[in-house]
Amino acid sequence: MSPGALAVLWAATALAASWSSAGRPAPEVGARIAALRTPLAAGRRRRSPAVAVGARLRRALGRTPDATADRAVGRLALCVAALGLVEPVLAVGALGVAGVARTLRRRRVARARRAALVDELPEVVDLLTLASSSGLSVPLAVATVGRHGVGEVAVALRRAHELTGRGVSLADAVAELPRQVGEEVRPLVRVLAGSLRDGTAIVPALERLASEVRTERRRAAEERARRLPVVLLFPLVVCVLPAFGLLTVVPLLVGALDGLPV
């Protein structure tokens, strides 16, 4: 293999490993010990070449074991290696495609997560309003919503309440929610932290917040609805219009050509 192909292979390996396990910490000693304690029967099972190559490459880069990530890294590395043997330019193009796909995937995941937070936030605010209106204090209301609520925001509230058992104040635990969940929960954090630290009335603030988050959810739904014609434009141009031409224009042209004198 030429030095250029080796360099391309190494770059592909690093890119694929960072793509498959972006943001993951290096494996701890316990994870390594657990990996060594894998049953022998599982170790004797035959693995595909892509999984074997991906596992070895990710292990060399200090990544945690992950079958899905190993398969993705192995497939990309083998593809780039094969293209590098044929033509290094093709391997560089494959790296570019992989990088663009990674960026698009991360943007799509982040957009879907923001949409999910916007959709579930009104229900969480309504539950907090109901719990506070029934006479529960703010810590008890947060604990109740975190225990019975559904969604990422409710899970974050439950974790914040669990931190109070370790000596962390609920106001400080709630203040970390935007960093852990997303900036979409910052208005809710502002209301909860203000009530916990300053003692302000929480029910009127939650009622105003409920109206605001419902408006924001309706605006997001309208934006998705306006984007739908743009999304449907590609299948319309690529699939519907050619089919329409084949079914209408082509038969007329064929009939006209058959009617011409030889």
Is 11 within a domain? Answer: no
Q: What is the pLDDT of residue 46?
A: 60
Kindly give the residue spans of alpha helices, DSSP state H, lying in the chain.
3-20, 29-36, 40-44, 49-60, 67-86, 88-133, 138-148, 152-163, 170-175, 177-180, 186-198, 202-235, 241-259
Is 71 within a domain? Answer: no
Q: What is the pLDDT of residue 47?
A: 64
Is 21 within a domain? Answer: no
Q: What is the pLDDT of residue 206?
A: 92
With a pLDDT cut of 90, the percent of the chain lying above it is: 19
Is 9 within a domain? Answer: no
Is 139 within a domain? Answer: yes
Q: What is the pLDDT of residue 2?
A: 53
Nearest Cα residue to 20 out of 113, 101, 88: 101
Q: What is the pLDDT of residue 128?
A: 92
Examine the pLDDT at 208 and tell me if it is beyond 90: yes
Examine the pLDDT at 42 and tell me if it is beyond 50: no
Q: Using the Cα atoms of residue 87, residue 92, residue 95 and residue 101 in order, give the sign of their dihedral.
A: negative
Q: What is the pLDDT of residue 215?
A: 92
Examine the pLDDT at 104 and tell me if it is beyond 80: yes
**Single-letter code of the amino acid located at 90:** L
Task: Tell me the HSE value of 116 on the side-chain side, using a 13 A CA sphere.
Answer: 13
Is 209 within a domain? Answer: yes
For residue 164, the domain's CATH number is 1.20.81
What is the mean predicted confidence (pLDDT) over 157-176?
90
Is 135 within a domain? Answer: yes
Is 187 within a domain? Answer: yes
Give the chain's domain count: 1
**Which residue range(s) make up the domain with 170?**
116-217
Cβ contacts of 58 within 8 Å, gap of 6 or more? 17, 20, 21, 65, 66, 69, 70, 73
| Residue 176 near residue 102 (C-beta atoms within 8 A) | no
